[in-house]
A and B are shown apart, each in its own frame.
Chain A
Amino acid sequence: MSPPETADDDPAPTPPERAAAVSQVGVTESPVVKTASRTVTPFVVAFGIYLTLFGTSLPGGAFQGGVIVASAVTLIAMAFGFGPTQQWLSAPALAGLFVLGATIFGVVAFGALLYGGAVLELFVFPLSVENMVKLVEVAIAALVSGVIIGLIIWLADGFGDGGESV
């Protein structure tokens, strides 16, 4: 918890200084924390993708999978700092992730009209309903993980004055 205390030393940090302090949150000198989070993250991401793709037959689903992928990125951000993580993740790609998810879901929802079904009627597509649900699940997971990663990373960065990392 040393980074918040260093922020406390300054009686009245100006907004850029406070943004700089926030981007230092989670920067730890501990090699144990860095190595552990670096080792665990691929497995957590794989678990999230597994939950998303096999939600039709196993406990889990797209919301769980997307949130778990986002929590893996959050773990990296806590261990290596929000600033470096934000430089590592391209912001347009992150925004593209949830825009893509929303687009796929919207196309599937209203594409059913073209096949003569009602909105979101997944039984009318030429693909099997299981494949359609997996497509929708991937879209939901992309949207959820993109929104949560963006929420945390952009909120940690603060207002537009911290735009140097974009």
Chain B
Amino acid sequence: MIWLELGLVAFVIIGALFAATIRDLVGSVVTFAGLTLGVAIIWVLLAAPDVALIEAAVGAGVTSVLFMIALVKTSKSRSDSEDEDDTERIFRSVNLPALLLVGGLAIPLGYAFLSLDPVGAANAPAVSTTFADGAQTPYGYYIEETIPETGFSNSVVAVLVVYRGLDTLGELIVAFSAAVSILIVLERSDIL
């Protein structure tokens, strides 16, 4: 099982490098969609099917389509960049300061990742049901009271709608405003 996970992580990292450096932008979008599916499978292996569904549908599906629409709408600039010397036809040259910046950010993040507790560890701070002084954590409340209070076996939905409904309302206000702003920017407000 660990080899499956390591293989998926290697697939995602190599795919990310390809997506960042490949010169053909359509190829970059397709690579991005593929690596996002790898991320979705990693979420499934980490026992987070809700996140995996979102990752597959939004990351691989909707985002790729939006990228493709943006590519087609800006195809003039894409054809301009194609008539350069063909020594670097497949990959674009890497900007060294940007590489150092990204690497300098990724290495501490990876180091911090190594210090995390193993998945499902009972004493991990994120999943412990009591604080050190014995008081109940919010996580402990959601885990222990969701089924008695609501009867839902999926506590994610219970947290999203019942306990943190105000946050969900805020998210929906953001989505609604996005749709309305697009209609206004595109001068299509006659629809509403």
Asked if residues B162 and A71 are in contact (CB atoms below 8 Å), the reply is: no
Asked if residues A61 and B156 are in contact (CB atoms below 8 Å), the reply is: yes
Asked if residues A60 and B175 are in contact (CB atoms below 8 Å), the reply is: no
Asked if residues B176 and A143 are in contact (CB atoms below 8 Å), the reply is: yes
A12 within 8 A of B: yes
Asked if residues B157 and A61 are in contact (CB atoms below 8 Å), the reply is: yes
Asked if residues A151 and B178 are in contact (CB atoms below 8 Å), the reply is: yes
Interface size on A, residues (CB 8 A): 66
Cα separation A92 to B173 with both chains bound (whole Å): 19
Q: Which of A125-153 contact B (CB under 8 A)?
A: 129-130, 133, 136-137, 140, 143-144, 146-148, 150-152
Cα separation A102 to B65 with both chains bound (whole Å): 25
In the complex, identify which listed stretch (B2-10, B48-56, B118-126, B133-141) lies at the interface while the others stay far away. Answer: B48-56
Contact residues in A for B169 (Cβ distance below 8 Å): 105, 109, 120
Cα separation A55 to B53 with both chains bound (whole Å): 12
B176 to chain A, nearest CB (A): 5
Contact residues in B for A77 (Cβ distance below 8 Å): 65
In the complex, identify which listed stretch (B66-74, B84-92, B94-102, B106-114) lies at the interface while the others stay far away. Answer: B66-74
Cα separation A74 to B65 with both chains bound (whole Å): 8
Cα separation A94 to B183 with both chains bound (whole Å): 12
B116 within 8 A of A: no
Q: Is the interface of B mostly helix, strand, loop or mixed?
A: helix
A143 to chain B, nearest CB (A): 6
A95 within 8 A of B: yes
Asked if residues B192 and A59 are in contact (CB atoms below 8 Å), the reply is: no
Q: A3-B72, A156-B69 are in contact. Are A151 and B157 (CB under 8 A)?
A: no
A64 to chain B, nearest CB (A): 4
Interface size on B, residues (CB 8 A): 50
Cα separation A119 to B168 with both chains bound (whole Å): 13
Cα separation A55 to B76 with both chains bound (whole Å): 45
Cα separation A20 to B73 with both chains bound (whole Å): 10
Residue of A nearest to B175 (CB): A147
Q: List 13 A-B contacts (CB under 8 A).
A: A4-B71, A8-B76, A11-B76, A12-B76, A22-B69, A68-B57, A71-B62, A94-B191, A133-B162, A147-B176, A147-B178, A150-B183, A155-B66
**In the complex, given contacts A67-B53, A137-B161, what are 18 additional A-B residue pairs having Cβ atoms less than 8 angstroms apart?**
A4-B26, A21-B75, A59-B50, A59-B53, A60-B154, A63-B160, A67-B54, A67-B57, A71-B62, A95-B191, A105-B169, A129-B149, A129-B151, A151-B178, A152-B66, A155-B182, A155-B186, A158-B73
- Which B residues contact A (CB, under 8 angstroms)? 26, 49-50, 53-54, 57-58, 61-62, 65-66, 68-69, 71-73, 75-76, 78-79, 149-154, 156-158, 160-162, 165-166, 168-169, 172-173, 175-176, 178-179, 182-183, 186-188, 190-192
